[in-house]
Amino acid sequence: MPSSQAAVDHSATVMDSNPPFFATYKSLFSSRASMNHEAELLAAECDLPLVDLSRLNSKLEAKQCKQDIITAATEWGFFQMVNHGVSNSLLARLRRQQVKMFRQPFKKKVLDFSDDSYRWGTPTATSLKQLSWSEAYHIPVSSANKLARTSTNRCVIEEFSAAMAQLANQLVDTLAEGLGRDGTYIKENCTRNSCYLRLNHYPSCPLPGEVFGLVPHTDSDFLTILCQDTVCGLQLNKAGRWVTVKPNPNALIVNIGDLFQAWSNGLYKSVEHRVMSNPHLERFSVAYFVCPSKETLIQSSALPAIYRKFSFGEYRLQVQQDVRLTGHKVGLTRFLA
């Protein structure tokens, strides 16, 4: 089976100037204390639950396929999908454009999209454990046509976003059905006006035991669909233990976000995850976030409800305040009933 990822030379040379981590976070590095990640760098690899999505088209297998998705969302909060309907050629074209974008000079990356789409590091970090050694383009789906400065970027991002939206709707319907509910509410509120893409690049890092590629967190959305390359780095917290997700070049990864955990009254799990930095290899991934409008209310229909009713805007504001004041996200525990 052909790989869905473009062939990428991952042997990157460490260059402080692109992005300028050492220069910008000089005070953090000068007063650093090792986080002692050495054991975690060697965390055991795991194979996520694997779902063959083509089984949804079979009258004989659709029911079991849906149950496999529901079980994975309940027990793991993560799963991987093959035969998902997103073409290998599209994923390869997107990866080629992504690599080109991130290998530009730093000043050109800042200008690659209009608005403030290009982001890197962690502006709020007050210690190395809060710093993410990564850079990203944060692209609202509704604005991709206006933000992208080249027609090639616009076309591939638009095509990929449409494929992800279709796939996300299929997953939302299945997961809502597992709760005895209808997925219409989520689909009507998670449109191209509120969903977004994040193109990620994790440059090689000379201090892998001291800096994360992406700090531990949960996702503040309903669902995230991730396309990653073949370089290890993604880890999730399974039963209090960090495990490394073994890359599968033919699979897309899905993880449950905070909003689905609240909407399901805790049945589906939004699991803490992170990306470990790598001293030798760079890593690329693309994430599609299924987010609602700020006004959307999140409420479980099950009783007694674990979480109180809240709007997505209220949730995002609380997360931002917690990160600013404490250095980390607190999340759903702020919204217990």
Task: Please determine, for residue 140, whether its predicted confidence score (pLDDT) is greater than 50.
Answer: yes
Cβ atoms of 36 and 209 within 8 Å: the answer is yes
The distance from CA 1 to its chain's CA centroid, rounded to whole angstroms, is 25
CA neighbor of 209 nearest in space, from 150, 270, 278: 278
Task: Please determine, for residue 269, whether its predicted confidence score (pLDDT) is greater than 90.
Answer: yes
Q: Where are the beta strands (DSSP E) in 147-260?
A: 196-202, 212-217, 223-228, 234-238, 241-245, 252-256
Query: 144 pLDDT band (50/70/90 cuts)?
Result: confident
Residues 203-215 have a mean pLDDT of: 92
**Helix 151-177, helix 62-75: angle, nearest 10:** 90
Task: Please determine, for residue 259, whether its predicted confidence score (pLDDT) is greater than 50.
Answer: yes
Integer CA distances (angstroms), 249 to 50, 265, 267, 270, in order:
13, 33, 29, 24
Report pLDDT digits (tens) over 80-96.
999 999 999 999 999 99
Task: Please determine, for residue 33, whether its predicted confidence score (pLDDT) is greater than 80.
Answer: no
Active site (annotated) includes residue 283 = yes
Task: Please determine, for residue 191, whether its predicted confidence score (pLDDT) is greater than 70.
Answer: yes
Give me the DSSP letters along 51-109.
EEGGGGG-TTTHHHHHHHHHHHHHHTSEEEEES-S--HHHHHHHHHHHHHHHTS-HHHH
For the chain, the average pLDDT equals: 90
Catalytic residue (choose from 181, 283, 308, 334):
283
Residue 208: the pLDDT is 84
Residue 39: the pLDDT is 47
Cβ atoms of 298 and 315 within 8 Å: the answer is yes
CA distance 1 to 7: 15
The distance from CA 186 to its chain's CA centroid, rounded to whole angstroms, is 19
Report pLDDT digits (tens) over 212-223.
999 999 999 999
Residues 289-297 have a mean pLDDT of: 98
Percentage of the chain modeled with pLDDT above 70 = 88
> Cβ contacts of residue 26 below 8 Å, gap of 6+?
none
